[in-house]
Structure 1
Amino acid sequence: MSPISRRHAALSGVVAAVVALGVAEPVAVLTGPRSAPLIAVGGLVVDLVPEPLKQFAIDVFGRYDKIALLVGTALLLAGFAALLGLAAARRLAFGLAGIAAFAALGVTAALTRPGADGFDALPSLVGAGLGGLTLWAFAAGPLRADGGPAGPATHPGVPEPVAPPGPTPPPMVAALAREGEDPDGWEPSESGGDQESRRRFLRGAGLLTGAAAVAGLGGHWLAGRRGVSAAREAVTLPAPAAPAPPVPAGADLSLPRLAPYVTPNREFYRIDTALVVPQVDPVTWTLRIHGRVRNPIELSFDELLARPMVERYVTLACVSNEVGGDLIGNARWLGVPIKELLDEAGPEEGADQVVGRSADGWTCGTPTSVLRDGRDALLAVGMNGEPLPVEHGFPVRMVVPGLYGYVSACKWLTELELTSFADFDAYWVPRGWSAQGPIKTQSRIDTPRARSRPSAGPVTVAGVAWAQHLGVRRVEVRVDDGPWREATLAPAVSSDTWVQWSWRWDATPGEHRLQVRATDAAGETQPERRSPVAPDGATGRHTVTVTVA
């Protein structure tokens, strides 16, 4: 194949893939967005990818890790599709076999998602069918770049047309051509038919790609229209029977680059395994509390809202948060105490784990004793004065002070199952994470930023510190290897939230290293030794290097 033919063949494969994915999106509007091939396969990748690679993605992309995964999956698919196009140019059956393999992967991924049924296979099947038809049209059908497989028509008694004389290659070129080689420096001129075939090929590729893109974007838009944003806006939250204590004056130092004491909803971190946000209708939502309980309970959303509500400020942290990271936030939550519901259900002897199950099948395992020890563990329905944002768990999620989110903060909650740690491992445990994850005491320098260039003289060093459900007793800062200096702690609502701190530094010119450490109310100081986030949270002291001008 000439270089131009190879490019056309690769392009035909990519166009076929775009058609397959674009057509699948409108079909997935009917069967659910998780059944779309790209989303279904991406979800399978999330479940099967090795844990170090998954953590690498979180470290590099943070809250954009899902977008990075989808883009990466699409790029890999484009490369695979180009290879299918090249294979189909040699033999169509090879390309169609690749399309069939892709369909099988999409169907398998869709049907293995929790709660899937047979209809979830339709997007992959319909998309693969039209993708295969597109590949045939470009590789063997009317849109072939070389004008199609058939040569000039011949009839008995009618002489075949004689091609007009073309340029005669030099003798050496002719000899190489007879050897089957494609020498540099000489190509036969294209006929008008070849040029018209290639123009038709490119026009067809452009039109089909554009139509598939419109179909895909339209399907995505329709899926959004079928979401639960309108249902969320219609929810009226009840007034709390136990309002949150007011934020003390001075709790927020309002310094540039310092994280605010209360994190706005739009800035609150989001780390989960859902490539598409579950759309859970509160009208049909129910919560089952079952398993090893004496009195199973089932509640509707209206029944949950009718219960006395508690409002509390609680800081949540992700176990993937590196030392100095931003996968942490503080918000005002409204919800029903989990302890009251568990007391009504009556856990049986030995039921030491409560498994929260999400609408998309994700699970987390929380110690039953923690949920009943008096802390403000909530089934939250509100966040900072409004119904939960859809991406943060609407209509109901768990909020548990003192535990990392992977063992407590189940979003889009539909079940609480009483079991034991000996009998069930939640989602992250078989993947190498600890079954129980109390939040470690940590502190962070927000200002000055690393590699910044503050001016000599008074410099305010400030940040946040947290010791969930214990409270921060002391924060200390040191410059280079000098003595530790105690920072000033701002007031906080409770021990369940982080606290801002500040320290005045008389900065001298040159490069300096600033380090911070916190001590919790039990007298434990965060260790200096660095450890990774796996299996139960990072340790170490946040350090930034600045150059004072």
Structure 2
Amino acid sequence: MQTTQPPTQPEQTPPPEAQARQELFANGFLAGLAAGILATGIMLLLNIEFHGVSLPEEMGSWITQLMPAPLFAFLHQLIGDDAKHVLVAIVVVGQCAVFGLAGGFFNQVSGHSSSAHPRPDGKSTTMRWSAGLLLALLLWLFSGLLLLPLFGSGLFGANTTSGLSGSMWSMGVVGLVYGLLYVLLRNLFSVREQVAKEALDAQAARERSRQTRRDVLRSGGLVLGVGVMGYLAWRFISNGLGSAGTNVAHITQNFKRKIVPPPTPNYGTLQPAQNLSPELTSNDQFYTVSKNLVSDPTVDARGWHMEIKGQVRTPYTLNYDEILQMPTRQQYESLMCISNEVGGPYMGNALWEGFPLSTLLESAGVKEGATKVVLHAADDYSDSIHLSKALEPTTLVAVRMNGQTLPQQHGFPARLLVPGIYGMKHVKWITGIEVVNYNFQGYWQNRGWDDAAPVRMTTRIDTPLTGATLTDGRTSYIAGVAFSGNKGISQVDVSLDGGASWQRATLKKPFSQITWVLWELSWTPKAGQYSVVARAIDLEGNVQDPAIASPAPAGSSGYHTISITVR
């Protein structure tokens, strides 16, 4: 009995025209991607060294503006201190991908035009340099007329610190680097591909290449996806495990918001305890936070000036030499970032030197009806404080920090100090002080963060570290810092049983009412598992809020809790 095999379907292959277009796109994409990586590096370098415009910086700022404050705070907590770097990496990778796509599509179009030198067999091999100049021009126009306005930076970055001219020339340089390198690499890839085709069967080589690329992309994407998800899951789990078991319901139920009269501070001498924060934070250890994704501004004092303007009778301008001649005074003050988690690291205490902001405002003569003072910075940052706060004697324009000229990363040549409110209001790199008669909303307020931003009282346990193991019967010290903005600290209580009972800690007398307070509790532990909690009471008798709240939009609250083992 004879059997017949069903006819096999011939393998479907793309038409020659489609294959040619795919090859053109692939070559153009690879050339565009490689050229884009270098061009992006040049862009970031020009931004850091010569104040050129940075598309990743502008796009990152735009993304954070679209992001609700709770989501921003959640991602910051989930990813940690590297959140800004992760965002930068994502934006930079995205920009390089756009460069690659631009190269791929441009090569498809130019592959059938006179911009390429045809071979006798009709295939395009080399591209003229003029095509690279055309591509550079198109990208320059696309960035200046579409992207930068979309990001709120104005036509050709007119609203950025770089200004119109600075943005136009820096984008021009980046475009030229990209366009010329693209042509060079595109031609190189084309020649190499042509040589390979002469040695191998074109269709077989192409199929093997496609399959390999698919496998690499699939496996690479899988590994990347698993890695990212694993990392985020690890951060989420570790953060969750790191929060020791506090009986929040019990603490909240028995919470007394205010004590009248306020407790008398229990000042005394503290014993040296490992990991306890120093009373003064050195300049290099003082936390730094800014909106900038790539780099903070480097201000040259020789060309810097500060304008006092707006709703004043006599606007004027000061240069750096003039502000150094103003009478100054010293002030110990602690700062805390509004994005600081309970027990977080974004706190510091320093000796500042400067002059009251009120001195500048009185010289200018504030007009009736003025309500707020807006601070403008060299990195396009802005924020505002109420006029009454600006006139307080402790609101300073600082020019020195811990006995040194104000460091660049902390706001040189001049920054604001506003005791009692979070660090986002302590504007760095001041270039303008503007008095206004309306409710100005600053950079972070437009992104959903609180405008008043009073510091919420907090206590941090510095030592022992969570998860530590102590020795049964050996005297140990539980110690840390407490801070309430401008209300001082009268008492710190420590619980060794998750908040069921409390012991009063010894306080080190602080430098001032607007600094943090160091505290310590001596303890001779017995074997077992302990959940250690700390809380504070300010000089007005207000008790630290035990209710757990994330930093967004008005600062975190809750009691710092650690778990320790005694053996």
Is the counterpart of residue 285 in structure 1 residue 304 in structure 2?
yes
**TM-score, normalised via structure 2 length:** 0.72
State the alpha-carbon separation in 1 of the partners of residues 530 and 211 from structure 2.
66
Is the counterpart of residue 462 in structure 1 residue 509 in structure 2?
no
Partner in structure 2 of residue 377 of structure 1: 395
Is the counterpart of residue 361 in structure 1 residue 380 in structure 2?
yes
- Show CA shifts across 1:10-65 (max 9, x none): 542321212323454676688x3342444454454455555445434543566554
State the alpha-carbon separation in 2 of the partners of residues 349 and 336 from structure 1.
24
State the alpha-carbon separation in 2 of the partners of residues 105 and 452 from structure 1.
56
Is the counterpart of residue 503 in structure 1 residue 550 in structure 2?
no
State the alpha-carbon separation in 2 of the partners of residues 525 and 494 from structure 1.
20
Is the counterpart of residue 276 in structure 1 residue 295 in structure 2?
yes
Is the counterpart of residue 127 in structure 1 residue 174 in structure 2?
yes
| 466-475 or 106-115, larger mean C-alpha shift | 106-115
Q: 1:125 and 1:44, CA in 2 relative to 1: closer, same or farther beyond 3 A?
A: farther
State the alpha-carbon separation in 2 of the partners of residues 346 and 373 from structure 1.
16
Is the counterpart of residue 441 in structure 1 residue 487 in structure 2?
no
Match runs of 1:138-153 below 5 Å = 138-139=185-186, 141-144=187-190, 146-148=192-194
- Show CA shifts across 1:146-199 (max 9, x none): 445999xxxxxxxxxxx99x99xxxxxx9xx79x99489999xxxxxxxxxxxx
Partner in structure 1 of residue 495 of structure 2: 478
State the alpha-carbon separation in 2 of the partners of residues 392 and 102 from structure 1.
36
Match runs of 1:312-331 below 5 Å = 312-331=331-350
Partner in structure 2 of residue 15 of structure 1: 34
State the alpha-carbon separation in 1 of the partners of residues 80 and 354 from structure 2.
28
Partner in structure 2 of residue 431 of structure 1: 447
Partner in structure 2 of residue 69 of structure 1: 87
Partner in structure 2 of residue 238 of structure 1: none
- Show CA shifts across 1:220-266 (max 9, x none): xxxxxxxxxxxxxxxxxxxxxxxxxxxxx978754211111100100
State the alpha-carbon separation in 2 of the partners of residues 112 and 287 from structure 1.
18
Q: 1:527 and 1:305, CA in 2 relative to 1: closer, same or farther beyond 3 A?
A: same
Structure 1 residue 113: Cα displacement:
1.5
Higher relative contact order (CA 8 A, sep 6+): 2
Contact 1:251–1:261 at 8 Å: present in 2 too?
A: no
Structure 1 residue 324: Cα displacement:
0.8
State the alpha-carbon separation in 2 of the partners of residues 33 and 130 from structure 1.
18
State the alpha-carbon separation in 1 of the partners of residues 304 and 403 from structure 2.
21
Contact 1:254–1:260 at 8 Å: present in 2 too?
A: no
Contact 2:70–2:553 at 8 Å: present in 1 too?
A: no
Structure 1 residue 7: Cα displacement:
7.9
State the alpha-carbon separation in 2 of the partners of residues 9 and 101 from structure 1.
16
Contact 1:323–1:539 at 8 Å: present in 2 too?
A: yes
Structure 1 residue 400: Cα displacement:
1.5
Q: 1:368 and 1:10, CA in 2 relative to 1: closer, same or farther beyond 3 A?
A: same
Q: 1:493 and 1:355, CA in 2 relative to 1: closer, same or farther beyond 3 A?
A: same
Contact 2:52–2:170 at 8 Å: present in 1 too?
A: no
SS for the counterpart of 1:445 is: strand
Identity %: 29
- Show CA shifts across 1:106-146 (max 9, x none): 4325444146123412222332233233333444x354254
State the alpha-carbon separation in 2 of the partners of residues 104 and 447 from structure 1.
56
**Which among 282, 296, 319 is matched to residue 264 of structure 1?**
282
Is the counterpart of residue 547 in structure 1 residue 565 in structure 2?
yes
SS for the counterpart of 2:524 is: strand
Partner in structure 1 of residue 51 of structure 2: 33
State the alpha-carbon separation in 1 of the partners of residues 549 and 136 from structure 2.
45
Is the counterpart of residue 338 in structure 1 residue 357 in structure 2?
yes
| 534-543 or 123-132, larger mean C-alpha shift | 123-132
State the alpha-carbon separation in 2 of the partners of residues 88 and 513 from structure 1.
63
State the alpha-carbon separation in 1 of the partners of residues 167 and 60 from structure 2.
15
**Paired letter, 2:327:** P
State the alpha-carbon separation in 2 of the partners of residues 251 and 40 from structure 1.
50
Structure 1 residue 79: Cα displacement:
3.9
Is the counterpart of residue 519 in structure 1 residue 566 in structure 2?
no
Is the counterpart of residue 453 in structure 1 residue 469 in structure 2?
yes
State the alpha-carbon separation in 2 of the partners of residues 371 and 112 from structure 1.
27
Partner in structure 2 of residue 136 of structure 1: 183
Q: 1:518 and 1:82, CA in 2 relative to 1: closer, same or farther beyond 3 A?
A: same
Unaligned runs of 5+ residues in structure 2 are 1-18, 113-130, 213-266
Contact 1:92–1:136 at 8 Å: present in 2 too?
A: no
What CA RMSD, in Å, does the superposition of the two structures yield over aligned residues? 3.8
Structure 1 residue 428: Cα displacement:
1.8
Contact 1:28–1:35 at 8 Å: present in 2 too?
A: yes
Match runs of 1:113-262 below 5 Å = 113-114=160-161, 116-139=163-186, 141-144=187-190, 146-148=192-194, 182=207, 254-262=272-280
State the alpha-carbon separation in 2 of the partners of residues 22 and 545 from structure 1.
45
**Which among 390, 401, 404 is matched to residue 386 of structure 1?**
404
Contact 1:22–1:127 at 8 Å: present in 2 too?
A: no
| 348-357 or 440-449, larger mean C-alpha shift | 348-357
| 465-474 or 381-390, larger mean C-alpha shift | 465-474
SS for the counterpart of 1:401 is: coil
Q: 1:454 and 1:4, CA in 2 relative to 1: closer, same or farther beyond 3 A?
A: farther
State the alpha-carbon separation in 1 of the partners of residues 211 and 403 from structure 2.
74
State the alpha-carbon separation in 1 of the partners of residues 469 and 143 from structure 2.
52
Structure 1 residue 398: Cα displacement:
0.6
Q: 1:455 and 1:182, CA in 2 relative to 1: closer, same or farther beyond 3 A?
A: same
Structure 1 residue 526: Cα displacement:
0.9
Contact 2:493–2:536 at 8 Å: present in 1 too?
A: yes
- Show CA shifts across 1:83-118 (max 9, x none): 555556655579989977754564325444146123
SS for the counterpart of 2:313 is: coil
Q: 1:93 and 1:490, CA in 2 relative to 1: closer, same or farther beyond 3 A?
A: farther
State the alpha-carbon separation in 2 of the partners of residues 399 and 358 from structure 1.
14
| 124-133 or 512-521, larger mean C-alpha shift | 124-133
Partner in structure 2 of residue 228 of structure 1: none
Q: 1:527 and 1:39, CA in 2 relative to 1: closer, same or farther beyond 3 A?
A: closer
State the alpha-carbon separation in 2 of the partners of residues 259 and 181 from structure 1.
63
Count of aligned pairs = 462
Q: 1:300 and 1:464, CA in 2 relative to 1: closer, same or farther beyond 3 A?
A: same
